[in-house]
Structure 1
């Protein structure tokens, strides 16, 4: 799977571009990345949006234990990879039929998050049990939501394109070809929501920090994101404006 969204929608952490500083690392435009994916996956299906943003899905070489699927409901697109262990419980909780797939459950969970704002996103996503990664895009609201299970059982990587667009894929070779050095694994147990930032859904009051790895010459060769269990945000009552929650959960690069 592959998604590319312009900077104004994806709002990627600026630390994702650190490996490019002082180097000539190869990065591609959104159009070039789409062509790379088409050349690698001839069976791919594209879902195109305004300004060159897109989602793409291929079932070639997919892990049978972690199948990929896509669902489109009410202008909300969700690519899901993996399996939820508590599907039956979630169907009952959200009032869905027995035929509802994991991707349908994710869309319904997102609707609850959206319609009950400022309901904190960690309260919704932490109820998911299993091995999964998903990418959801609300095309009406231009909201992007990413998440990965606690153990990082399903691959998900993110990086930046030449114009600062956010690129996400479950294929490390593909995202390396698209983003050069400017990519890294999406942190397990975390969610990223455009306009809100990167948080750990089990430790939402702890910062998720970007840690740069430098070579012998002091150049940043890679960046990883980890939960800082020694630093907490001030406790905020779960009432008030959405802006308060956005300020409480946004990732900070230091």
Structure 2
């Protein structure tokens, strides 16, 4: 899987940026797409505005963790893995038994966006299983990323040479496009381009970037972990469809 969004949409954390070899030529989103097509022929591609795109290949797919991509009312979602409680979730949201995991995630997002005043961390916490997804609402420009708390599905994110946000489960693609500026997407976390990175198990606490250094003292990588000693600033919760993302990280009000 691969999803690439320009900086104005992706809004990646600055901590992902790690200086790379100055001789490396930054790759454009077009070059990144061609690289994926070359590596995974027959991939499904969705070209979005301004050169942004989402792509998926079923090559070498783990049957226990299938990949899928759906589009519903201009909401695009790549889902990898499986949900153990998908039947319960279908009943809870009033969906048919033919609803797939990817379709379910889109429906959950639409409920959060359009009707629910409660925070998204509570909803994602209800998803049981091994999963990772990247969802993009083309109408509102909302990007939503999540990974299960055990990190059972591979997902990495990084910053390309043109400052685009890149998400993929292919480390070769990530290294070629982002150089050193990529890291595992933290397990048990959600990312919204309007409000940033947060833990859905500990939504009131900050997710901190921790850099790794080589023997010469140069930064060679970064990981993100929940810091239970630092609370996030309180954000007033609202229920409107236009600013739902700004209110998703507050509980217990």
Same fold, judged at TM 0.5 (above): yes
Deviations along 1:42-74, whole A, 9 cap, x unmatched? 111110011100001100011111000011111
1:123–1:40 distance in 2 versus 1, CA, 3 Å? same
Q: Is the 8 A contact 1:148 1:190 kept in 2?
A: yes
**1:173 and 2:176 matched:** no
Q: Which residue of 1 aligns with 2:15?
A: 15
TM-superposed CA distance for 1:216, in Å, is 2.9
SS of residue matched to 1:132: strand
Do 1:21 and 1:220's aligned partners in 2 also have CA atoms closer than 8 Å?
no
1:17-36, aligned counterparts within 5 Å?
A: 17=17, 19-20=18-19, 24=23, 27-36=26-35
Q: How does 1:22-61 map to 2 (within 5 A)?
A: 24=23, 27-61=26-60
Mapped to 1, the partners of 2:162 and 2:196 lie a distance apart of 20
Give yes or no for the alignment of 1:228 onto 2:222.
no
Q: Secondary structure at the match of 2:186?
A: coil
Measure the CA separation in 2 of the matches of 1:126 and 1:182: 29
Q: Cα deviation per residue 1:146-203 (whole Å; 9 max; x = unaligned)?
A: 0000000000000111110000001112211221111110000000011110000010
1:244 shift after superposition:
10
- CA distance change for structure 1 residues 234 and 240 in 2, over 3 Å: closer, same or farther? farther
Residues 1:16 and 1:239: Cα distance change in structure 2 (over 3 Å): same
Aligned to 2:186: 187
What's the TM-score once normalised by structure 2's chain length? 0.91
- Aligned residue pairs, count: 249
Q: What is the CA-CA distance between 1:27 and the residue it aligns to?
A: 3.9
Instruction: Answer yes or no: is the 8 Å Cα contact 2:208–2:227 preserved in 1.
Output: yes
* Contact residue 155 and residue 168 of structure 2 kept, 8 A: yes
Name the TM-score, length of structure 1 as normaliser: 0.91
Residue 2 of structure 2: aligned partner: 2
1:130-169 superposed matches below 5 A: 130-169=129-168
Could you tell me which runs of 5 or more consecutive residues in structure 1 were left unpaired when the two chains were aligned. none
- Where structure 2 has 5 or more consecutive residues not aligned to the other structure, the ranges are none
Matches within 5 A, 1:56-95: 56-95=55-94
Q: Give the Cα–Cα distance (whole angstroms) in 2 for the partners of residues 239 and 195 of structure 1.
A: 14
Aligned counterparts of 2:43 and 2:230: Cα–Cα separation in 1: 43
Deviates more, 1:224-233 or 1:202-211: 224-233
1-side partners of 2:234 and 2:109: how far apart?
Answer: 24
| 1:24-44 deviation line (CA, Å, top 9, x unaligned) | 556421111111101101111
Displacement after TM superposition at 1:229 (Å): 1.3
CA contact (8 A) 1:25 1:181 kept: no
Structure 1 runs of 4+ aligned residues shifted over 6 Å read 240-245
